[in-house]
Each structure stands twice: as structure tokens, then as C-alpha cells.
Amino acid sequence: MKIARQMRIGVTAFLTFAILSHLPAYAGNVSEIVSGMSAADKHSNYIGTFVLRKSDKMMTMHVVHGVDDRGVWESMESLNGEARKIVRHNNEVISIYPDRNLVTVSKMGGKPGLHPTLPENLEKLANYYTINQLGDDRIAGRETSVLNVQPKDAYRYGYKYWLDNETHVLLKCDLLDENGEIVEQMMYTSFNNQSEVPQSAFNIPDLSGFTSQSLDRNRGKQANIGWRATNMPQGFMLTQSTIRSGEDNESLHLMYSDGLASVSVFIETGEDSPHRLVGASRMGALNAFGKQLNGAQITVMGEVPEATVATIAESMERTQ
């Protein structure tokens, strides 16, 4: 009896020691993995194919990612559904829609995105998410580390990341709603890490006859926007603002982010707004909520719970 009790105490002590001694290394490793994931965009050359599942729809895409002395290049092309190609060079994004003879060009000015602010950004993320390492798994024939990112409140979704052990590139991603259900899933089915990728992949095809739309952006300019959210969930910061003036209307796009989740607020003035959404709308992981206020159409959307977009929309008010 005495021996049994001693053994129980021994086992308990061993387990306690094992768990406690594991914690600091665990936390450090998570930080390293997340930082690696952010940095992978600027250091990796690869070619791959991934599938993206949203609700009952599944899409396949071919991606080429390269880095040279001029920066980061990326080409992404849909292999099913409507033909569409995105070519990105650093912060400039060109989207080509061959079926509609349309090309959009967006270029972000000012300081770059939140990526370089890691690890400070990681510390901020820890205020709103609990990040744990779940173990290892294999995706597209490659060894990966799995991270579980769980929100600490009901204003954001959860994430599960599968990161390539060698390159830290995100090879699989689950987006989980407030009930833990997967609302969006991305996974590479083939992934080839390369020393360099062919530049021809980033060539822009002949765009004769295409309609071009340019989207210029201003980052973080809060002055003279004329609108503000009085009840923004904690952690979301204004990261971009865009004002576009048309003949009969003016539209304002405000972008808020907590480092993982992003929320857009679109405000259109004028009577012929084509986006007269009143109430809630959902497309896969994306929730939207619209309302009209003082002759303006307010539409809030993002990969966040419906309650989040509704709360923000209802709190928008004019400042001038």
C-alpha cells in the first residue's frame, strides 16, 4: 500500500515537472513559428497548387511565389470557375478578369503592412488570441507544425495553421467560427520549394481592350474621413482608408485589423448606391452587415462573426 502511494506521488510529480518544464520552450517555439510564417513571404520561392473550400464550394488555384532583388512576386490563378489571375509585386496588386475584359490595379502607399512589426505584433495578438502548438502533421508530402489560434472573445474567428517545417510557408489553414465549425479551409495539394522561380510566371498578358480601374490607397489617414466607429472591438486598428469620388457619389473604405482578422467599412453617399444592404449577409466565412444613416449606405464586412460586423455598423457615426 505504501509502495503504491509512493508510486502515485512519483508519477504525479513527474507529470507536473514534464508539463511545467515544457511550457517556456513551447511558448518560445510558437513565437518562432509565427514569426517564421510572417517572414516566409519575403524569403521563399515555391510553386504549388492548393484548394480552397468555402461552404459548399471548392476552388483550385495555382500559385507561383518568388523573391528577387526587386522584392516579392506572386502569381495566383484560379483553375476552376471564372478565369482570374492576380499578379502581386510587393504592395502592388493587379487583378485580371479575362472574361470581363477587366483589370484592377491597387497600390498601397506609405509605410508597409503589419508584417514587419512582428514580434511586437505577436505580443498584441496574444491579448486577443491564445496560440498553442498542437503537434506535427503532413501536408502535400511535407512535414508541418500545427498551430491552434483561439480567440479570447466572441468578436473574431479561430484559426488553425499548418506550417511547413522547412520554409514556414502556410500549407493548410482552417478558419473556425464561434462554434468551432470550419467555415473556410485552404490546403496545398502540391508544393515545390525552389531555389528560384521563372519570372515569366509574373508577366502581365496583353490587356488591349480591357477596362482598367485604379484603386489608390492612403494608409491610416484618419483626418477628414468624416466618420468613426464608436464601438470597435478591442484590438482592431484603422490600417487603411481610401476615398473615391465619382460623378454622383463618394465612397469611403476604412480597413481595420487586429493582425489576423480584417474588417472593412464601406460608406457610400449619393442616392444611387448599388450596395443597398440592410441587415446581415453571409458568403462562406465572410459576414456583412448594412444599414442606412443620414443618406449614406454603410456596409461592414470581414472574416469575423456576424455580431462583430453588426456591432461596428451600428456604431458608425458622422464626425463632421
Partner 1 sequence: MNEDKEKISAWLDDAIEYNEAGSLESEQDERAFATTTRYQMIGDALRGKVTEASMIDISASVREAISREPEIVPVTRPARPIQREAKPLFDFGSWLRPVGGLAVAATVAMVMVVTLTDKQTATDNAVVANVGQQPVQALPVNNTAPVYARPGVAMPAVNLNSYVTEHSEYAAQDTIQGMMPYARSVSYGSEKNTALKNTTKDSQTEKNLGK
Residues 248-287 within binding reach of partner 1 (CB under 8 A): 248-249, 251, 253, 255, 257, 259-262, 264, 266, 274-283, 286
Supply the angle between the helices 2-43 and 120-128 in degrees, to the nearest 10: 130
How many Cβ atoms from other residues are within 10 Å of residue 246's Cβ? Answer: 11
In the complex, what is the shortest distance from the CB of residue 222 to partner 1, in angstroms, rounded to a whole number?
Answer: 16
Beta strands in 79-141 (DSSP E): 85-89, 92-97, 102-108, 129-139
Three cell numbers, residue 91: 504592395
At 112, is the secondary structure helix, strand, or coil?
Answer: coil
Among 27, 31, 49, 52, contact with partner 1 (rule: CB under 8 A) = 52
Among 67, 76, 201, 293, contact with partner 1 (rule: CB under 8 A) = 76
Q: Contacts with partner 1 in 119-148 (CB under 8 A)?
A: 121
210-224 in b/e form (b: 16+ CB < 10 A) is eeeeeeebebeeeee
Site string for partner 1, 210-249 (x = CB under 8 A): xxxxxxxx------------xxxxx----xx-x-xxxxxx
Q: Using an 8 Å Cβ cutoff, are 316 and 265 in contact?
A: yes
At 220, is the secondary structure helix, strand, or coil?
Answer: coil
Among 27, 29, 31, 41, contact with partner 1 (rule: CB under 8 A) = 41
How many Cβ atoms from other residues are within 10 Å of residue 284's Cβ? Answer: 15
Tell me whether residue 197 or residue 255 sits nearer to partner 1 (CB atom).
255
Q: Using an 8 Å Cβ cutoff, are 215 and 104 in contact?
A: yes
Residue 265 burial (C-beta neighbours within 10 Å; 0-12, 13-18, 19+): buried
Task: Return the range that interacts with partner 1 (CB under 8 A); candidates 13-21, 24-32, 94-102, 132-140.
Answer: 94-102
- Tell me if 46 contacts partner 1 by CB under 8 A: no
In the complex, what is the shortest distance from the CB of residue 275 to partner 1, in angstroms, rounded to a whole number?
Answer: 6
Tell me whether residue 62 or residue 226 sits nearer to partner 1 (CB atom).
62
Tell me whether residue 27 or residue 53 sits nearer to partner 1 (CB atom).
53
Task: Return the range that interacts with partner 1 (CB under 8 A); candidates 4-12, 22-30, 138-146, 190-198.
Answer: 4-12
Among 207, 227, 228, 269, contact with partner 1 (rule: CB under 8 A) = 207
Length of the chain, please? 320
CA dihedral 287, 188, 165, 35 (to 10 degrees): -30
Tell me which DSSP letter residue 27 carries: H
In the complex, what is the shortest distance from the CB of residue 62 to partner 1, in angstroms, rounded to a whole number?
Answer: 10
Tell me whether residue 69 or residue 272 sits nearer to partner 1 (CB atom).
272
In the complex, what is the shortest distance from the CB of residue 19 to partner 1, in angstroms, rounded to a whole number?
Answer: 21
Q: Contacts with partner 1 in 144-203 (CB under 8 A)?
A: 153-155, 159, 169-170, 173, 181, 184, 186
Residue whose C-alpha cell is 513559428: 33
Q: Using an 8 Å Cβ cutoff, are 86 and 95 in contact?
A: yes
Among 176, 288, 296, 298, contact with partner 1 (rule: CB under 8 A) = 288
Among 108, 140, 197, 298, contact with partner 1 (rule: CB under 8 A) = 108
